[in-house]
Amino acid sequence: MAHASSNMDDLLSDWISDINKASEIVEAKKRTPSARSEIAFCAQTVSMADARRDLMENPDDPFLFRKWLQLQVEEGPADIRDDQSQRRQEIIEDYCGLKVIELIGCKCGNKSIFRINPEAEWRYSSGQFNIKGLKGPCSMWSGHIGYCWEGTMSDNRTYAGFTPGNGNSIYGANI
């Protein structure tokens, strides 16, 4: 009887292994660019968190991020969406730029004009339409350059050890 039980256990293990392999194949197919493109195309809504995750995890083809950008105009304020002036595209791109800064989590204050055409094929850090390159490094003061939303910027708000008002100067040698 123990022999039959062992065969059943082996069959069950093989069956579970086959199911796991099939599941892994299905999951891998879901991550292919063509599948992700189709999912993004069909999406009616995209959360900011999903768009950010897609931008960071799929930097060369963030289809869900691109869909989120397009939805920002469709779901945006009526005065931006319905504007008929000659500056309509500029207004839309300024609005999308502000939304992308919010999405990536940039908190450094380096928020110069950041125009994002929602119809362009944006990527994270390569190509003509690239978020990281357009935004540029966060540079609050000399020697502290990086990207605050990636955690690569030295976030030293006390100016590298100099505390304002204690007699130390960030410009001189009053240390």
Return d(Cα 160, Cα 156) in angstroms, integer.
Answer: 6
Query: What's the mean pLDDT in 60-82?
Result: 93
* Cβ contact 122:131 at 8 Å: yes
For residue range 153-169, list pLDDT tens digits in order: 654 443 333 333 334 33
Whether the model clears a pTM of 0.85, i.e. scores above it, the answer is no
Whether the pLDDT of residue 88 is over 50: the answer is: yes
Q: According to the model, what pLDDT value does residue 50 have?
A: 95
Query: What's the mean pLDDT in 77-86?
Result: 88
Query: What's the mean pLDDT in 34-56?
Result: 93
* Cβ contact 118:96 at 8 Å: yes
Conformational region of residue 31, where left means phi above 0, alpha means psi within -120 to 50, and beta covers everything else: alpha
Query: What's the mean pLDDT in 30-44?
Result: 88
Whether the pLDDT of residue 6 is over 70: the answer is: yes
Return d(Cα 128, Cα 92) in angstroms, integer.
Answer: 19
Residue with tokens 């929602």: 118
Q: According to the model, what pLDDT value does residue 163 have?
A: 33
Single-letter residue type at 15: W
Conformational region of residue 76, where left means phi above 0, alpha means psi within -120 to 50, and beta covers everything else: beta
Q: Of 63, 56, 68, give the one whose Cα is nearest residue 33.
A: 63
pLDDT band at 24 (very low <50, low <70, confident <90, very high): confident
CA 152 to chain centre: 15
More confident residue, 90 or 156: 90
